[in-house]
Amino acid sequence: MAATAKEVTPKTSPSSDLVSRYAPEESRKGADIIVEALEREGVKHVFAYPGEASVEIHQALTRSNVIRNVLPRHEQGGVFAAEGYARSSGLPGVCISTSGPGATNLVSGLADAMFDSIPLVAITGQVPQRMIGTGAFQETPIVEVTRSITKHNYFVLDVNDIPRIVSEAFFLATSGRPGPVLIDVPKDIQEQLAVPNWNQPFRLSGYMSRLPEEPSEAHLEQIVRLIFESKKPVLYVGGGCLNSSEELKRFAELTGIPVTCTLMGLGSFPTSDPLSLQMLGMYGTVYANYAVDKSDLLLSFGVRFDDHVTGKLEAFASRAKIVHIDIDSAEIGKNKQPHVSVHSDVKLALKGINRTLESKGAKLKLDYTAWWEELIEQKVKYPLTYKTFGEAIPPQYAVQLLYELTDGNVIISTGVGQHQMWAAQFYKYKRPRQWLTSGGFGAMGFGLPAAIGAAVANPGAVVVDIDGDGSFMMNVQELATIRVENLPIKILLLNNQHLGMVVQWEDRFCKANRADSYLGNPSNKSEVFPNMLKFAEACEIPAARITKKEDLREAICKMLETPGPYFLDVIIPHQEHVLPIIPRGGAFKDVITEEVNKNKAHQEEGIGYRRKLKQDINPRVYFHGNVFGCPWKDCMEKLVLLFDAVDVLMRGSLLGEGDEASPLLRAPFVASFSSRGPNPGSGNLLKGSKVTPAYEAVARPALVLQVKMLFILNVIRYLQCYLSSLTLLLAIYDNLAKPMSSTVNNDAEFAYGASYLNLATTENPGLVYDFDKMSCTISMPWRPHLVGTKSINGSSMLPRFGYDAPTDPSMQPQHEKRQTVNCRFFKRRVPSIGPPSMNNAIPLRLFTYPLQNRSFKAAKFAFHIKEEFIAKLPLTMAATTANTPLLKPSPLASSAKSSIPISKSVLHFRTIPRKLTTPRSLSVSSSLSQSNSTPGSTASAVTPTKAPTHDFISRYAPDEPRKGADILVEVLEREGVKDVFAYPGGASLEIHQALTRSKLIRNVLPRHEQGGVFAAEGYARSSGLPGVCIATSGPGATNLVSGLADAMIDSIPLVAITGQVPRRMIGTDAFQETPIVEVTRSITKHNYLVLDIDDIPRIVSEAFFLATSGRPGPVLIDIPKDIQQQLAVPNWNQPLRLSGYMSRLPKEPNESLLEQIVRLVFESKKPVLYVGGGCLNSNEELKRFVEHTGIPVTTTLMGLGSFPSPDPLSLQMLGMHGTVYANYAVDNSDLLLAFGVRFDDRVTGKLEAFASRAKIVHIDIDSAEIGKNKQPHVSVCSDVKLALKGINKILESKGAKVKLDYSAWRNELNEQKVKYPLNYKTFGEAIPPQYAIQVLDELTDGNAIISTGVGQHQMWAAQFYKYKKPRQWLTSGGLGAMGFGLPAAIGAAVANPGSVVVDIDGDGSFMMNVQELATIRVENLPIKILLLNNQHLGMVVQWEDRFYKANRAHTYLGNPSDESDIFPNMLKFAEACGIPAARVTKKEDLRQAIQKMLETPGPYLLDVIVPHQEHVLPMIPGGGAFKDVITDGDGRTKY
């Protein structure tokens, strides 16, 4: 904070009755100051998961008599529980985690709290200050990561600032618009001693000045006046009203205005109140949405006007004057411009309004009887209902029953999905803070941990988690927390074996094509999988399953009556849809209310679907069809028009299906029949917007070649003549989504005929185009812009012109303002094609929208139609066309002044028509996208180093348009991708649909996005190929953060693809919108936000090149949904735009430097090779170098396998838990050859003491690592493989001259090997964990692929398993991410079919991603899980034993009420997923048990119970030197 900042005294004083356990002037640790500051803020509960960087805080918490820690089983569970605490109590929630993965696991919860305005304080440990920026173990720039998803964050650099910073954090979190605040505290600050000053003033003068004041009386009077003038007012309230429910009820009593709530506002006004219209928005009641649509006054209190409420912004409350009261000035006018706005606390504003109303007394005469009668009629007509089918349980009925049996008095938490919407619709909320859900962010996995927080905050209250199976599985490990804390949480699981909301979208919009939305076991769909009852049983929670409706009431009664927690698994049909629904971006008129068809997949039928807007796609116009030689219906199914609007075309009455004919298709029929059928202008053929008998009688039998011809040729003529205005295309677009207007004088009308176009406006009705001239005045609200031409296969030139969609909310009017553009006259002749001219026009409405100060861009382009189109014409017609010159529109003298581009259209026809043979496709496309200009025009294009696969055969024709999602999938195929790890969601649904169309790529469906990214890492680590993971926007993207940070620090090639909200919604706080590019900027090698569909091939190619070249790392690609849905013809030959990056890539190593290294080797007496993960690709060269020199080799944790551990020259691992002899060798060496390493803190310890006697040679591909932590004497920035080849070549050239004798040095090291071997002690029948790994090594002959979690088991696996080859050892090295082992094993098994893959895991780490057992079973992966179960967080316990006098601070993971019991029962987790499992407790039984595990086909879990007193030895304490090494002792010894 700047020194000049004005100091502000806190508004709230510390708790006056708090008695400190320290004397006023007594020094205490920074961690104790943090805890006391929390106590002074009134904190009673925290949700904290321990780790190395936060162990001091946990120790301090054990010294507090005020604060209780509720130990979650995953940091994400902790932050969601803290949210549940805050949402249900109104008090700020507090969560605490360690650095690295502990901090990154909070990201989804912080983003969720930011979205939903939840007061939250998150405290993270950080590495000591001296290590920041060194790439230290578990170092993550969490302040940078969370900057865009927190209200504020702090990095503590002075222990004396802790009291002020904590107080400011709570003030910021709770004042103004609430939100999350993060405090990052380095470990040395926690350990530092100080005397705290509790009376420091705030330094928040800028923030304080922006807080809202008392609302203006004049504004309140204006609002009251509007109320009195209104005839149809509606009160629209959101989460900002939760603290003003009493004032809200008083206002409703005084006025009698109907009230509707947002999802977040449920409970702020009683749902059962007669004045309540319940929820509005996408899944709101019809009558709530009707009220808003018809209202003349919308009183918006504490709302955001988010997209799930408003839909199409310009249609939302379009008749109403809008009053907006909100505490956040940034929300006022952001999405919807109000007529009256008040920046104030809603509570204060309502008090003022009520006071004004009450002051009027007898004058208060508000009569809304007529309005209420209208709304009641809608309530009766469209109630919230559902149907029952046989014995199946309707999920809505389950929620209704719960409401009846609890009288609406329980606290409800939910995950995200269909169950969330049913809980919102069918449970009647009586009071605020009774409803807990992830609203704007939509975080699956929220419900269960949020219920924990609510139960902790509200002891004695009944808390019910209404959850879905997909959402529940994401944090299923929190069942253990519920049992240990004995929280009375009831879990009502609505289990449909699917991702229900995704299934609904698939049914509605994807023709029921299932794309990774089935969560059961495909090999046995009759079975309920996984068995949720076994998950509950594993955590000793009573559970039952119900499948019949008649048994449901009794089952829910039993659930509510059972003391403590209870789990009820309710099996429901997956065909159920949440209704009503307004398609995203739609308006009230697009509401869908019809019930689901149980007997067949629900298809896009009926007017509701034909009207649905294609709002999520930036418009492109394509005509592509095999128009001759096939029935008209088949032809139309191949016609891709306006980004896949073929369903809109095909499902109308044109084919005799029912109500309305498509306006686009009427015109060709009218043009065809005008000379020999009823006059279309008389109304007896096409009357209004309905199909008439004349239409049926005349149009249907006439589906003949002439009609097809006219349709196509009319389209061509439009493109030829009118591209300068784009008007017809836009008109067609509008009318695809809207019924034909029966009104004549609308904004614009045109006659669609074979011979002429009449485009007239109400202002200029006489301007008519015929054979001689064309003139019009067009209202242009969108921004047309030409962006040059595009070459396809080096010949055809397709135009690229763009405009923003008329349905794009980002382009919608705040005020009625239009831009008028004049088209000039020009003369031209066209061939006479088709029947005589029409004399009557078919009126179609052309909808217009304002420009919003968007400027035009002008350019020229050529329009080309492929020559083979002529072959599709009848011979006579083709001859006429070929012999008649088609003139271009003449250049106009005034074109230079035009605000729109003047197009030149060219039609190339053959002079000699070809004989009609096999029908070919017509490709006439106009691509609407943004400019493709290169950022930085001086940058040179770089040709990709990796050419597309030569034998790759696309499933599309070269010039065939396809969706952006299909382009994405095809470019993945071209990059050689065979497997992806993708979890579907709304913003990535198109990608999953495209994956189902791929025959090359297989998706392995994880059960959590974190499992997916870790699996992709395991794939990459074990194969050397880049791993690919895909997730949706919002929580899907943020759940990748830990994996991306892990891949970044460990240099793993990874490409992560995330969906994003449509471009027009970015920045509007749309549902599941997250700035993931900003979040991941500091933890990825590079990231992209795709803004042009034509960039997809280049960007994906660049991403793979970046991920795999130089120092590998993760690259993220964020793709908006409209880009995925847009159509384009991809250009696969775009050059990479990476000139700067390419110039920085290391070149061939300098020969003189290599000679210098060889000279140092010859001069050395005690050399040591210190190799890391950078040598995994150069193991053969490394072995050759060692053969030449005889130099002993030690490896880092990441370098294990790059040199065979059993080799006599191997010293195994060095560092904190490395062998004594490896560390001895480095300490005593005179030459340290550091190849592919980082000199990180876990290896070096005290930097100045590390290799202090040695000259250091450092070879690394990343120049940033050279000299960063340790200054080398000789450095080479190069690929280690190339450098070793060069060194070996020099050594081999010396031939017989090579006489290197290090036998004395090796003998010295052998003495150390004998003196300090890796060993362990045995105590009775207890199983030493080291012995378990030794036995595994023996039985697999060291050939298995080993993955691990993080902790003691990880170090023992590194020490006692002998790795023979690279990519055999998979672990989270630099980040230390618990939960890594199980999903990484999945990736390894997918990448290496037939290999033995063993996950050596610990119970704490295993629990973090235990849900991935379901993936293992479904994919039938032969993964063996060797679980070293000590019921503790073993590594933290070891630190407690060594440095904290064995004071246990939240490190026991079992059930304290019965410590003799193994809790949770891991065998039941395996059984839930159909995986064979066994437990072994005695050493004598271990070998046989491991043998059985290895011999059992498929997956297997072996639960090995080990003593928690075991320590990982040797050990050099953090920051220590070799002389500080610890070689003896365990938890049985007092220190």
Work out whether the CA dihedral 286, 428, 416, 345 comes out positive or negative.
Answer: positive
- Using alpha carbons, select from 531, 71, 50 the residue that is nearest to residue 1463: 71
Separation of alpha carbons 340 and 326, rounded Å: 11
The dihedral built from the CA positions of residue 547, 553, 556 and 558, taken in this order, carries a sign that is negative
Phi, psi of 164 (to 5 degrees): -65, -45
Tokens of 57: 């805080």
Q: Give which of 424, 379, 454 is closest to 118, Cα–Cα.
A: 454
Cα distance between residue 611 and residue 196, in whole Å: 66
Q: Which of 312, 1121, 1285, 1468 is catalytic?
A: 1121
Q: Which one, of 532, 519, 526, lies nearest residue 417 by Cα? A: 519
Which tokens in the block code for residue 1050?
A: 């460990």
Strand partners, 1027: 1054
> Would you say 1146 and 1110 are in contact if contact means Cβ atoms under 8 Å apart?
yes
For residue 501, indicate whether it is catalytic: no
Of 155, 628, 750, 1071, which one is the catalytic site residue? 1071
Q: For 804-807, which contacts have Cβ atoms below 8 Å and span 24 or more sequence positions?
A: 804/618, 804/854, 804/1064, 805/615, 805/617, 805/618, 805/619, 805/733, 805/1064, 806/730, 806/733, 806/734, 806/781, 806/782, 806/847, 806/848, 806/849, 807/312, 807/585, 807/613, 807/614, 807/615, 807/737
Cite the beta strand spans of 89-163 per DSSP E. Answer: 93-97, 120-126, 152-155
Cβ atoms within 10 Å of 1273's Cβ, excluding its own: 14
**946 annotated active-site:** no
Helix axes 1096-1108, 964-974, angle to 10 degrees: 40
Annotated catalytic residue: which of 740, 1435, 1466, 1493?
1435
Q: Could you give the strand order of the β-sheet that contains 1423-1429, starting from the edge strand earlier in sequence?
A: 1369-1370, 1345-1348, 1397-1402, 1423-1429, 1500-1505, 1477-1480
Q: Are strands 1500-1505 and 1423-1429 parallel, antiparallel or unpaired?
A: parallel
The answer to whether residues 833 and 338 touch, using CB atoms and an 8 Å cutoff, is no
Are the C-beta atoms of residues 1043 and 1055 closer than 8 Å to each other?
no
Strand, coil or helix: what is 15?
coil
Query: Which residue, among 977, 978, 1054, 1052, has the nearest Cα to 1021 in the 3D structure?
Result: 1052
Instruction: Fill in the amino acid letter for 1092.
Output: D
Query: Does the CA dihedral 51-53-58-63 come out positive or negative?
Result: positive
**What distances in angstroms separate CA 437 from CA 239, 265, 1073, one per listed residue?**
11, 11, 17
d(CA 1085, CA 1107): 7
Q: Within the chain, what is the greatest distance between any pair of CA atoms?
A: 114
Spatial distance between the Cα atoms of 204 and 10, rounded to a whole number of angstroms: 9
The Cα–Cα gap between 360 and 1328 comes to: 82
Is residue 530 reached through a cis peptide bond, with omega within 30 degrees of 0 on the bond before it?
A: yes
What residue ranges in 960-1033 does DSSP mark as E strands? 962-963, 979-982, 1002-1003, 1027-1031
Helix (H) or strand (E) holding 788, with range, is strand 785-792
Q: By the 8 A CB rule, do 646 and 640 touch?
A: yes
Q: How far apart are CA 514 and CA 1364, in angstroms?
A: 43
User: Has 1072 been annotated as catalytic?
Assistant: yes
Q: Please provide the size of the chain in residues.
A: 1535
Q: Which of 59, 138, 1072, 1509 is catalytic?
A: 1072
- Dump strand ranges (E) for 244-339: 259-261, 276-279, 297-301, 321-326
Residue 1071 bears catalytic tag: yes
Give the DSSP letter of residue 1268.
Answer: T
User: Is 1435 one of the annotated active-site residues of the chain?
Assistant: yes
Catalytic residue numbers, as ranges: 1009, 1071-1072, 1121, 1435
